[in-house]
Amino acid sequence: MNKMKIDHIGYLVKNIGKAKSVFCALGFQPVSEVCRDEYRDVDICFLEKDGYTIELVSPFSDDSVVADLIKKVKNMPYHICYEVSDLSSGIADLRKEGFVPIGEPAPAPAFGMRRVCFLQSARIGMIELLESGKE
Ligand code: NI
């Protein structure tokens, strides 16, 4: 298994501005502006507290990858993202553990166009893999 480092916890929210205010009241500091991801039709911003990074994700259209999910679950954490140095090899490792990729790896504007891939496990649900920033 390749080394996997936790990068963030993805938190689905209906209103990113209002959610951000609440997290700030809880002591989180914003560490990014709100970034629009046109690939997935979501707005994203990052907050940090005590070494933890939370990614707020909010769909802005019914075509969003999380449009159906937010109708079901409303506001809640929904994935842990792990950084790996090699995305293909990381995906291969996880396939052996029963994970199935949800779509192809694709660039993520919120991460400077580094590639991400979501995977599903029947046992623990969804996780995200993020390619490390090595050049
Ligand atoms: Ni994420």
Per-residue pLDDT of the chain (135 residues; tens, 9 = 90+): 889 999 999 999 999 999 999 999 999 999 999 999 998 999 999 999 999 999 999 999 999 989 999 999 999 999 999 999 999 999 999 999 999 999 899 999 999 999 999 999 999 999 999 999 865
Give yes or no for a contact between 70 and 12, defined as CB atoms under 8 angstroms apart. Answer: yes
80: left (phi > 0), else alpha (psi -120 to 50), else beta?
beta
Q: How far is the CA of 9 from the centre of ligand 1 (A)?
A: 6
CA distances from 93 to 31, 40, 96, 100, 103 (A): 31, 25, 5, 11, 17
Give yes or no for a contact between 81 and 55, defined as CB atoms under 8 angstroms apart. Answer: yes
Q: How far is the CA of 114 from the centre of ligand 1 (A)?
A: 12
CA angle (6, 45, 9) in 5-degree steps = 25
CA angle (76, 78, 14) in 5-degree steps = 45
Task: Please choose, from the candidates 60, 99, 79, the residue with its C-alpha nearest in 3D space to the C-alpha of residue 11.
Answer: 79
What distance in Å separates the CA atoms of residue 59 and residue 40, rounded to the nearest whole number? 8
**pTM, 2 dp:** 0.94
Structure tokens at 134: 């090595």
The length of the chain in residues reads 135
Q: How far is the CA of 25 from the centre of ligand 1 (A)?
A: 22
Q: How far is the CA of 1 from the centre of ligand 1 (A)?
A: 21
The structural domains of the chain, ordered by start, are 4-131 (3.10.180.10)
Q: How far is the CA of 71 from the centre of ligand 1 (A)?
A: 19
Q: How far is the CA of 86 from the centre of ligand 1 (A)?
A: 17
